[in-house]
A and B are shown apart, each in its own frame.
Chain A
Amino acid sequence: MRSLFLKIFLTFWAILLLIALAFAVMFWLRMDNPEPRLRAGAAAAASVFGGAAVEEYERHSILGLEKYLARIREHSRLNGSLYTAGGRLLAGETAAPPDLLQQALETGGARIRPRGQGALIAIRVSGSNGASYIFVAETGRRPPPPPPIFRGVPDAMRWAIAITISGLICFALARYMTAPILRLRAATRALASGDLQARADSTRRSDEIGDLVRDFNVMAGRLESLVNSQNRLIRDISHELRSPLTRLGVALELARGQAGDAAAASLDRIEQESEQLNTMIGNLLTLARLETESSAPKRDVVRLDELVKAVCDDAQFEAQAHDSGVKLAHCDQITLSGDASLLRSAIENVIRNAVNYTSPGTTVEVSLKSEASLARIIVCDRGPGVPPQDVQRIFEPFYRTAVARERTTGGTGLGLAITRRAVLSHGGEVCASNRDGGGLCVEMTIPASQPSDAS
C-alpha cells in the first residue's frame, strides 16, 4: 500500500465495516440472552396465561383448555401448551424438552430458552386442588418491519448495499483529503525538475492542508525570484564584462600602433589573455542559461554517431599537429532527440579536454556504444589522470588539477561543467574514472529514445 489515498480509503472503510460488524454481533448476542426485564415480563405474561389455562382445564377439561389455547394463539400470537407435573402434554403444539419442564417444576420461576427464531418460556402453575402444571409458551420472533424500500430485499443484498455506500463515502473522504496532496506533489516534482513557475492549485480550504499548499506556493515564489535574480546577475555581469573587454581590444590595437616592436610580445600576451577572458564569459553565459533551462532542451532529431564522428574528425585534425591522435574505436548508429548544438559542445568539451591532457605520442580513444535504450560515449586519454579523491570534482566549475594549474592548457575551467549540465538536461549521466596504466576515462550515458535501428 504505497498510496496515501489507498491507505486512508481502506482504513476508513475497514473501520466502518468493523463497527457495523461489532453492532451486528452485539445485537445478535442480546437476542441470544434476553434481558432480565424482558425475562420478567415474559414470566409475568406466561404466569397469567398459564393460570387462566389451568383454570379452563380444571373447569372445562381438555376441550376448554384447547379452546383457550386456540384463542390466545389467535389474539396474542402465543403458542401455548400445558403439561402435567409429570411432563405429560395435555394440550398444545410446543414440544418442550423434558429437562426444561423439570427445571421449571423445580425452580418455580419462569425458564426461558431460545429456540429457533424465538424462545420457549416454561413456568409452573398451581391448580386449585394443589396439583402442579407446567405452562409452556413459544414466542415467535417479530423483528421491526423493515423500511419500505428494503421490503423484500434479501439480507445479502442489504449487506452489499451497506458496504457499497460506506465504500463510496470513504472514497469521497479519502479523495477530499488526498487530492490537494497529490496536486502539491505534482507541483513539487515540476519545481524540482527546474520548472520554477510551478505552483500548486491554491485551494479555498482553510485547514492545515490548505495552509501547506499556500506555504508551498510562497516558497516556490521566493525560490523562483532568488534563482532568477541569481541568473540575471550572472548574465548581467557576463554581459557587462564584455563592454570593457571590447574597449580593451580597441585600446590594445591603438597601443600596438603607437608602441614599437619592443612591446609587441607583451601586447600579444594581453590580447591572448583577453580572448581567454571572453571565452570564459561565453562559457559562463552558456552555463547560466543551462542552469535555468535544465528541464527543456530543444528537441531535434540528432544522429549521435555522425556528431561524434565529426567531433572526432576535427579533434584528430587538431591533435595531429601536437603529435597525438584521436581514434574512434567503436561507433554504433544512434539517433536520439535533443539539442544538437548542446550535445555537440558536451562531447566536444570532453574530447578536447582529453586531447589537451593526453601525453605526446599517445592516442585518445573514443567509443560510442548503443546499450539497451542508452547511448554510451567513452573518451579515454593517456594523460596524468586525476587524484582519486577528486575524480568526480572535475565536473565542477573551475576545478583544476595541479597539472592543469602548472601548465597553461588554454581551458576556461567550465568545459566539463557545461558537459555535465548538457548531459543532465538530456536525462543522462556523466562520470569519470582513472584508467589502468595512467590516464582518465570520461563516460557519458544518454537515454536514446530510438536505439540502434535508426535509419
Chain B
Amino acid sequence: MMNRILIIDDDLGLTNLLSEYLTSAGFTVDAVHTGEDGLNRALGGTYSLIVLDLMLPGIDGLELLRRLRPLSRIPVLMLTARGEDIDRIVGLEVGADDYLPKPFNPRELVARIRAILRRAQTDEGAPARTRITVGDVEMDTGSRTVHKNAQDVELTSIEFTILEALLRAAGQVVTREHIAEVVLGRKFFAYDRSVDMHVSKLRRKLGNHPDGNERIKTIRGSGYIYTLPEEAARA
C-alpha cells in the first residue's frame, strides 16, 4: 500500500520503461496518459504518490494539480520537459511536493520518491531518523532535509548525497573517485567535471563557516574535505 505509485504522462514509451524500473525498485506502478484519467485515478485510487507530467493533452499538469489539491493531500512529484524556472515556481505554489526536469536520472527520481514518502511517513508520526550534525549544519537522512542555523537549505538529490558523504567523513579527505562512484554511481573520467560542478554548487549553497573559514576545501589532485568548525576542532 505504501508503495503504490501513479504515473500520469502521455509518453507511452516512457511510462512503460518507468513502470518497469520503479517495479524493480520495489514499487507498484499504474500509468495513465491523459489529465482526465489521471485526475479520476488520483481521486479514486489509493496511491501513496503521483508522478505527474506537466504537459498533458486535455487537462494539463498544472490544472490537474489545481483541481486535485483541495480534495487530496497525496504527494505529487512533477516532471517537466521545459525546465523553466517559471514552471517550477508555479508548480510548487500550486502544491507539488517536488519537481524534476526531464530528462532526469532515474536514480534521482527514485531517491526523491523515497524522500517524499519518508517525509510523509514521518509526518504521520513514525520517526526513523538519522541525524548528522556538524557545527551549524544539521542533516536528516530520513527526510533528506538539511538545515543550517535552523534554516532549510534546498539541495538536489546528488548534492544531498555528496554532502552526506562529506559530513560522515568531516575533517578527512573524500576523494573525487569515491564521490563519482558512490554518489553518481559510475567510474570517474579524467575530464569529467560534473563532480567538481556539484561540489561547487553545494559549496555556494552552504557558504563559509560562521567564522569565515572555508567550509569545503579542495585538496589538489585528490579530493575534498569538509573542514571542522573551530570549536569542534578544539573540543
Contact = CB atoms under 8 A, between A and B. Distances in A.
Partners in one complex: yes
A248 B82 contact: no
Given A242-B103, A278-B103, A410-B193, A317 B203 contact: yes
Interface stretch (B14-22, B66-74, B160-168): B14-22
Contacts of B24: 254, 257
A265 B197 CA distance: 22
Contacts of B199: 317
Interface residues of B, number: 35
Interface string A241-266: 01101111111111001000000110
Interface string A418-430: 0000000000000
Interface stretch (B39-47, B91-99, B121-129, B184-192): B184-192
Nearest to A251: B17
Contacts of B200: 314, 317-318
Interface string A288-317: 000000000000000000000010001001
B102 A250 contact: no
A248 B199 CA distance: 26
B20 A410 contact: no
Given A318-B196, A320-B218, A320-B220, A268 B187 contact: yes
A250 B81 contact: no
Interface string B71-115: 000000000011100000000000000000011111100000000
A410 B195 CA distance: 13
B18 A323 contact: no
Contacts of A408: 191
Classify chain A's interface size.
Answer: 20 to 34
B187 to A, nearest CB: 5
Given A265-B187, A268-B187, A242 B81 contact: yes
Interface string B115-158: 00000000000000000000000000000000000000000000
Contacts of A314: 200, 203-204
Interface in B188-221: 189, 191-194, 196-197, 199-200, 203-204, 218, 220-221
A243 B204 contact: no
Given A321-B220, A323-B221, A253 B191 contact: no
A361 to B, nearest CB: 11
Contacts of B176: 321
Contacts of B103: 242, 245-246, 248-249, 274, 278
A248 B105 CA distance: 10
A413 interface: no
B197 A250 contact: no
Q: Is the interface of A mostly helix, strand, loop or mixed?
A: helix
Contacts of A317: 196, 199-200, 203, 218
A405 interface: no
Interface in A396-416: 407-410
A271 B186 contact: yes
B160 to A, nearest CB: 19
Contact of A310 (B83, B192, B194, B204): B204
B26 interface: no
A250, A265, A278: residue with the most chain B Cβ atoms closer than 10 Å: A250
Contacts of A407: 191
Given A272-B189, A407-B191, A247 B17 contact: yes
A236 to B, nearest CB: 11
A275 interface: yes
A427 B223 CA distance: 41
Interface string A268-285: 100110110010001000
Nearest to B223: A321
A250 B18 contact: yes
Given A243-B14, A310-B204, A321-B176, A250 B106 contact: yes
B102 A246 contact: yes
A245 B105 CA distance: 10
B11 interface: yes
A264 B187 contact: yes
A409 B17 contact: no
B220 A246 contact: no
A239 interface: yes
A314 B200 CA distance: 6
B58 interface: no
A310 B221 CA distance: 23
B11 to A, nearest CB: 6
B143 to A, nearest CB: 24
Contacts of B197: 318
Nearest to A355: B193
Nearest to A315: B200
A272 B180 CA distance: 12
Contacts of A253: 21, 105-107
Contacts of B194: 275
A249 B223 CA distance: 28
Contacts of A247: 11, 13-14, 17
* Of listed A247, A271, A278, residue having the most chain B CB within 10 A: A247
Nearest to A265: B187
Nearest to B11: A243
A409 B189 CA distance: 11
A242 B55 CA distance: 13
30 contacts: A243-B11, A243-B14, A243-B81, A243-B102, A245-B102, A245-B103, A246-B81, A246-B102, A247-B11, A247-B14, A248-B103, A250-B14, A252-B106, A253-B21, A264-B186, A264-B187, A268-B187, A271-B186, A272-B189, A272-B192, A275-B194, A317-B196, A318-B200, A320-B220, A321-B196, A321-B218, A321-B221, A323-B220, A323-B221, A407-B191
Given A318-B196, A318-B200, 10 more contacts: A245-B103, A246-B104, A249-B105, A252-B106, A254-B17, A254-B21, A317-B196, A318-B193, A321-B220, A408-B191
